[in-house]
Chain A
């Protein structure tokens, strides 16, 4: 669930997912890039302090920062 005005992403993961070793995948519009780059496993386990990722537009002028909220299916 991506909310582009509030700049939040809500994702629900399967029960039992280990949040310390998650490999996130972002699909971006043409020529946009993500900051920080995803190099490998990411630790999303700190639910009180959700991580943020910034999408930088193709012409590198526009930057939008999204906060990723993970919830585990119960």
Chain B
């Protein structure tokens, strides 16, 4: 009995195109993922439309609660994907201008519906704070709409990409400076050197590409002459399959955020990490506990005895 009732109430309705509201409307989505790191962009897609017979779009603007860096812009082109899969831009407005917290575009072509991308470059002033955005659009018949997005938290961490390291050349790595020094510069910055990069091809031993503390046992620094004063003991914990998207810029959707550094516990980690392969990584804690970092091995080159690394660094205190 109950089944028959259910069957009777389900009537399939033929599909009809939805009727648009007779007014200017807008919508917005955030397109970028992962932690909002200073220097990177937060990307949005802002859509605005009104029925063609009511008028056309006049201007669009975004107001951010903290002014973005100078490279912040609102796209002035509308994109479509052509037959070959390439995105082609059609200019519909004049290039955007930034005045204080507000980024504006004025439409130059008659259009009543468009989606514009907004790229907000996170400024240093926003580190650790939250930012909100207000998107608005104006049409020729005097209507205005707006859409609020956020608040979004900006990460406290720093990022440095593609630092080249080479055995016996620029192999002294400083987490504080986020750079790799050679022996001469390392002597000048001795107090800042946290790691030594080396490559060894030893028979029977898988040493290969390694990151070791200058203060580790001498057997893990074979043939290395440390500049005077370079002797810190840094905690290094190898990590597998952690291809952070911001560092690896690869297809994996995993992100290391501030909280991962806050909750990291590598107090018992060794002070060396040998046999690191491409796409491997290591959690680092400096000797004084001031920084925690994650170093990712982007590329290794056995022949040249070198590698390219990227790191995310979090200041603990």
Chain A contact residues, CB within 8 Å of chain B? 14-16, 18, 20-21, 41, 73-74
Q: Is the CB of B268 within 8 A of A73?
A: no
Taken together as a complex, chains A and B put the C-alpha atoms of A12 and B204 apart, in Å, by 13
What is the total of A-B residue contacts with beta carbons within 8 Å?
A: 26
Question: Which residues in B have some Cβ–Cβ distance to A below 8 Å?
Answer: 204-207, 220, 268-270, 272, 274-275
Contact indicator A20/B268 (Cβ below 8 Å): yes
Interface of A (DSSP majority class): loop
On whether the beta carbons of B206 and A21 are closer than 8 Å, the reply is no
What residue of chain B has the Cβ atom nearest to residue A15's Cβ?
B205
Tell me the smallest distance from the CB of A15 to a CB of chain B, in Å. 4
- Using Cβ atoms and an 8 Å threshold, which residues of chain B touch A16? 205-207, 220, 272, 274-275
B36 to chain A, nearest CB (A): 34
**Closest CB of chain A to B262's CB: distance in Å?**
22
Instruction: Assess A21 versus B274: contact at CB under 8 Å? Given A15-B206, A16-B207, A73-B205.
Output: no
A14 contact set on B, CB distance < 8 A? 206
Nearest-neighbour CB distance to chain B for A73, whole angstroms, equals 7
Q: In chain A, what residue has the closest Cβ to B266?
A: A21
Min CB gap A29→B, angstroms: 32
**Residues of B close to A21: CB separation below 8 A:** 268-270
Looking at the assembled complex, report how far the CB atom of B60 sits from the nearest CB atom of chain A, in whole angstroms. 56
Distance to closest chain A CB from B142 (angstroms): 68
- With both chains docked as a complex, state the minimum distance between the C-beta of B237 and any C-beta of chain A, in angstroms: 9
